């Protein structure tokens, strides 16, 4: 197996980095402070195929391989995790539509998402059930040729900006994970009530919402895959989702490292740049080594997930997510340390990277859950 990226991967990285430096970086602080969702940037990113880049060309995407997709995510987050998250998550749920959806769903929604015209959501978590997905209480009951959905979802990325999404509900309550179904739910459905959550620690440009589902009716053709098959379908995408979060973490860490390196060469104390103190230069060397190790593990997980979602891929994805997310928070913390007092205020991007990186330890399964998954496959 070769671990060298090819010319196509380098070209993708160059393109996203240029977009990040020219379009995202200059407005990153502003969006963090205003918490404004970057709709224009999402549309612009779509022109370059950076939105839902793995969707095949026939539905308007770029058909990127998993490593290229990881590079896109990594570079968007390196520029700024908040805006990177808004662009990178604009097609949430599209893999589920692609793999299990009917042809009409793909034709109607995927081109709009890849064009940046619409965003989508993936609604799994509920107020009382996060890590325990199988415990969800939102129900869907069949009435004639419609399903009626009632319940509450929370922590839903794109909840107030999406036009459509994939929503998981219990169709056979009492059956645990065996009774869950995925539905395609348009956000303009009657009874679909999103409320923005805007007091986040980080990734503030990204949209987050709680969603009430008050008798939302969808036709039976909106079932994705099969009735009661949703949990198994979901499990197939967790490995890809976790690899994507690992790439987010690598990007955030690299952004913090870049800022620390620049600052260390500019800032002088005792009549010399602080980078000339071994305590600082070794810190930077350790940070760079940690980022590179997490990057390698992330690409390795991505290459496995591309081939299968077998136990090995699931284990590697969880390992990549666990290591990269813990590393990102540590590296951003060290980047603040390199900045001294200047790192503790918003004048420099490192405090933002620190706040933004923190989410990668929580969503798509917390670090503790990743350890459960890994140990289950070892013991």
Q: What does each C-alpha distance from 131 to 221, 306, 360 come to in angstroms? A: 29, 25, 14
Of 79, 327, 359, 374, the one binding ligand FAD (CB under 6 A) is: 359
Compare residues 70 and 85 and give the one whose CB is closer to ligand FAD: 85
Q: How many helices (H) and strands (E) are present in the chain, helices listed first?
A: 12, 10
Considering the rule CB under 6 A, would residue 372 count as an interface residue with ligand FAD?
yes
> How far, in Å, CA of 194 to CA of 192, rounded?
7
Of 50, 100, 109, 155, the one binding ligand FAD (CB under 6 A) is: 155
Compare residues 100 and 238 and give the one whose CB is closer to ligand FAD: 238
Q: Binding segment for ligand FAD among 47-55, 135-143, 313-321, 356-364 (CB under 6 A)?
A: 356-364
The contact mask relative to ligand FAD for 99-138 (x = CB under 6 A, - = no) is -----------------------xxxx----xx-------
> How far, in Å, CA of 318 to CA of 367, rounded?
9
Of 162, 213, 369, 374, the one binding ligand FAD (CB under 6 A) is: 369
Point out the residue whose Cβ comes nearest to ligand FAD. 130
Compare residues 100 and 155 and give the one whose CB is closer to ligand FAD: 155
Residue whose entry in the numeric block shows the structure tokens 């990127």 = 64
Strand partners, 192: 213
> How far, in Å, CA of 96 to CA of 15, rounded?
27
Quick one: which H or E segment has residue 357?
Answer: helix 350-357
Compare residues 240 and 338 and give the one whose CB is closer to ligand FAD: 240
Considering the rule CB under 6 A, would residue 95 count as an interface residue with ligand FAD?
no
> How far, in Å, CA of 293 to CA of 295, rounded?
5
Considering the rule CB under 6 A, would residue 167 count as an interface residue with ligand FAD?
no
Q: Which of 74, 126, 334, 364 is catalytic?
A: 364
Considering the rule CB under 6 A, would residue 156 count as an interface residue with ligand FAD?
yes
Q: How far is C-alpha 133 from the chain's CA centre?
A: 18
Q: How far is C-alpha 258 from the chain's CA centre?
A: 22
Considering the rule CB under 6 A, would residue 157 count as an interface residue with ligand FAD?
yes
3 state DSSP class of 253: helix
Other Cβ atoms within 10 Å of 313 Cβ, number: 21
Compare residues 13 and 196 and give the one whose CB is closer to ligand FAD: 196
Angle, nearest 10°, between helix axes 311-339 and 367-376? 150
The contact mask relative to ligand FAD for 196-215 (x = CB under 6 A, - = no) is ----x-------x-------
Q: How far is the CB of 266 from ligand FAD (least distance, A)?
A: 33
> How far, in Å, CA of 214 to CA of 193, rounded?
8
Compare residues 265 and 372 and give the one whose CB is closer to ligand FAD: 372
Q: How far is the CB of 197 from ligand FAD (least distance, A)?
A: 8
Beta strands 120-123; 164-170: pairing state: parallel
Rounded to a whole number of angstroms, the distance between the first and last alpha carbons of the chain is 27
Q: How far is the CB of 184 from ligand FAD (least distance, A)?
A: 15
Beta strands 164-170; 180-186: pairing state: antiparallel
Q: Is 364 a catalytic residue?
A: yes
Strand partners, 268: 273
Q: How far is the CB of 15 from ligand FAD (least distance, A)?
A: 27
Compare residues 229 and 267 and give the one whose CB is closer to ligand FAD: 229
Active site residue ranges: 364
The residues binding ligand FAD (CB under 6 A) are 92, 122-125, 130-131, 155-157, 200, 208, 359, 362-363, 365-366, 368-369, 372
């Amino acid at each position: 197996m070769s671990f060298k990226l090819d010319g196509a991967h380098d070209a993708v990285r160059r393109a996203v980095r240029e977009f990040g430096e020219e379009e995202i970086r200059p407005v990153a602080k502003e969006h963090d402070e205003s918490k404004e969702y970057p709709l224009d940037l999402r549309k612009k990113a779509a022109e370059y195929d950076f939105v839902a880049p793995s969707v095949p060309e026939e539905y308007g995407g770029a058909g990127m391989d998993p490593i290229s997709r990881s590079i896109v995510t990594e570079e968007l987050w390196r520029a700024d995790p908040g805006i990177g998250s808004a662009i990178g998550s604009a097609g949430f749920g599209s893999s589920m539509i692609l793999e299990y959806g009917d042809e009409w769903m793909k034709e109607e929604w995927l081109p709009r998402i890849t064009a940046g015209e619409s965003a989508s959501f993936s609604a799994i978590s509920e107020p009382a059930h996060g890590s325990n997905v199988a415990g969800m209480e939102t129900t869907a009951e069949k009435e004639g040729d419609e399903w009626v959905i009632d319940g509450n979802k929370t922590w839903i990325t794109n909840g107030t900006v999406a036009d459509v999404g994939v929503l998981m509900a219990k169709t056979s309550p009492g059956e645990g994970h065996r009774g869950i179904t995925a539905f395609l739910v348009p956000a303009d459905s009657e009874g679909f009530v999103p409320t923005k959550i805007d007091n986040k620690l980080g990734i503030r440009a990204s949209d987050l919402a709680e969603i009430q589902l008050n008798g939302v009716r969808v036709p039976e053709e909106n079932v994705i895959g099969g009735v009661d098959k949703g949990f198994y379908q979901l499990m197939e995408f967790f490995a890809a989702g976790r690899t994507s979060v690992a790439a987010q973490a690598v990007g955030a860490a690299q952004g913090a490292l870049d800022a620390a390196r620049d600052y260390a060469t500019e800032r002088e104390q005792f009549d010399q740049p602080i980078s000339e103190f071994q305590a600082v230069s070794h810190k930077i060397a350790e940070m760079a080594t940690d980022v590179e190790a997490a990057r390698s593990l992330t690409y390795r997980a991505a290459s496995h997930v591309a081939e299968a979602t077998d136990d090995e891929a699931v284990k590697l994805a969880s390992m990549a997510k666990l290591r990269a997310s813990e590393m990102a928070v540590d590296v951003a913390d060290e980047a603040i340390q390199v900045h001294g007092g200047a790192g503790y205020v918003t004048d420099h991007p490192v405090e933002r990277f620190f706040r933004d990186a923190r989410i990668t330890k929580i969503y798509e399964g917390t670090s503790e859950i990743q350890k459960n998954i890994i140990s289950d496959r070892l013991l």
